[in-house]
Amino acid sequence: MATVRRTPLNRDRVLRAAVALADEVGVAGLSMRRLAQQLGVVPMALYKHVADKEELLDGMVDVVIGEFDTPGPGLDWRDGVRARVLSARRAVLRHPWARQAIESRTRRTPTVLAYMNSVAGVLLDGGLSADLTHHVLHALGNRIWGFSPELFDEPRDENAPPPTPEQQQAMAAELSQRYPHILAIAMAATEGDLSRVGPGCDEEFEFRFALDLLLDGAERLRRGGWTSTAADPIATLRD
Amino acid sequence: MATVRRTPLNRDRVLRAAVALADEVGVAGLSMRRLAQQLGVVPMALYKHVADKEELLDGMVDVVIGEFDTPGPGLDWRDGVRARVLSARRAVLRHPWARQAIESRTRRTPTVLAYMNSVAGVLLDGGLSADLTHHVLHALGNRIWGFSPELFDEPRDENAPPPTPEQQQAMAAELSQRYPHILAIAMAATEGDLSRVGPGCDEEFEFRFALDLLLDGAERLRRGGWTSTAADPIATLRD
DNA sequence: CCCACCGGTGTACGCCGTACACCTTCGGGA
DNA sequence: TCCCGAAGGTGTACGGCGTACACCGGTGGG
């Protein structure tokens, strides 16, 4: 009997299936065994296509980077960086696990290098010295991958019931006693309505704010002919 | 016979042993079983003192935060933040696993809140509005914990032999072909001597550079009476 | 025609976190 | 004085994980 032969696996199909699976169940729920099951294959079959789980994750990150789009030239260098980085951000938002995956990766694959090279190119073309470009890339840090590094968000439990007024009252009392400064911030962020503390911060705004703060600081340094070898390299910033 | 009774465990001893063990073997090598062994106790004994491994890690982070020191008042707000953050940095450098642990944590323990509250207090006392303080804290992101978020470092293998001149030549050729902008940066960073690419970037410098870039940008916003409700909130920054 | 290789299989090992039932010890009311 | 309940430590067991290793059928090139 003509048992239909499955079209054979290959590295690309494995990676794309892994991305899809992670989109569903998160990076914590992604296991070699589960991925194999999803592909209708025995776990060890995967190892014909990726060396180990580390390499699988590297490959998955490469897939996400492949979704970044490269805006054409002709932009102010700051707009060029913004465009790249905000595109990265959109890709990372489509794959919520990507942030954690990127943070945990340490290998720099050719894809990763190519992306860094492209961002660096925008800075250099914009007139930043190689020196300044280097340090600005460091300053941007993970932001070039489209997410801010923070410990502030996330612990939001969607299924939790909204706080009752009494709970709000209690929280405000607790905050004002032990963490008055955090209370001040929360009040400002919610315009005094602590019940709106639920939705949390506007990540998009925070991301752009920090990005622009850094890019505009860099632009000021560029104009000032900044160099890292000066005695107080950052002094140019101080007026 | 008088079998000597071990002094009983308690949460504090467990956490400190965990920190010590992680200092030795890293966070990846830290398992409940191994920690128990180190304490001369059966694995399940730990669960009388911490709910689960998550809570153990939260507690370990709290221990590290406990090592931050709080500089006295009387400093310029920027110096106040710098002092706190650089002290955090020293603590995190003493516990190399802490960075990863902090990044992976999502629960905000009272210790975490207290630290954030203290940093926020410095900003507010320095004359930043609650609004601006909020966004500046976001902009600083993980930097308030004493490390920069980056994908640039780490993959340095100490045991690897230094590259031979031929390898350097090959690397430079590869770089100049495929990643010319990265080459430019590497040349600038090593003053043209690519053999010094080994030691990597000066993390301390990069950290301070980014920190000051952000703090000085924030100071400029403060002076300009920045507010997030303006049409183009960041416009104050432009030239 | 044969054989080497490629992709997939099956089994097994040693880790992991932790649920659950149990057992000792000890301090403090009745 | 007795008892009892809590606190702290134990032992066993389960289900999951990544992956080493031996194997095996099909297929295409010499």
pLDDT averaged over consecutive 10-residue blocks of chain A (239 residues)?
63 98 97 98 98 98 97 91 97 96 92 96 97 96 91 53 68 87 92 73 93 97 90 58
Gap from B109 CA to D14 C1', in Å?
32
In this structure, are B28 and B76 located in the same domain? no
Are residue A139 and residue A209 in the same domain, yes or no?
yes
CA distances from B65 to A125, A140, B59, B104 (A): 42, 25, 10, 15
B105-130 residues labelled b (16+ CB within 10 A) or e (exposed): beebeebbeebbbbbbbbbbebebbb
What pLDDT shows up at residue B74?
85
Per DSSP, the three-state class of B160 is coil
**Residue pLDDT, tens place only, B92-102:** 999 999 999 99
Residue A145 to residue B151, Cβ atoms within 8 A: yes
> B212 and B231 share a domain?
yes
Top pLDDT among B23 and A174 is at B23
Specify the pLDDT at position A234.
64
CB-based contact, B120 to chain A, within 8 Å: yes
- Residues of chain B neighbouring A113 (CB-CB closer than 8 A): 178-179, 182
Same-domain status, A192 and A208: no
Residue A23 belongs to a domain with what CATH number? 1.10.10.60
**pLDDT score, position A237:** 57
Query: Is residue A56 domain-resident?
Result: no
Mind listing the pLDDT tens digit for each residue in B128-166? 999 999 999 999 999 999 999 876 555 554 455 556 667
pLDDT of residue B39: 97
Residues B116 and B141 in one domain: yes
Enumerate the residues of chain B whose CB falls inside 8 A of the CB of residue A105: 151
Q: Does residue A139 lie within any of the structural domains? A: yes
A120 vs B11: CA distance, rounded Å: 48
Element at B53 (helix H, strand E): helix B53-66
Q: Kindly give, in sequence order, each residue whose CB lies less than 8 Å from that of residue B37, ignoring residues fewer than 6 positions away.
A: none
Q: Is B146 helix (H, G, I), strand (E, B) or coil?
A: coil
The closest alpha carbon to A22, from A108, A90, A92, A107, belongs to A92
Q: Domain tally for chain A? A: 3
Determine the structural domain holding residue A110 and report its residue range.
64-147+202-226
Spatial neighbors of A162 by CB under 8 A, at least 6 apart, are A195, A198
B58 domain residue, yes or no: no
Confidence (pLDDT) at B149: 80
Least confident of A72-81, B198-207, B216-225: B198-207
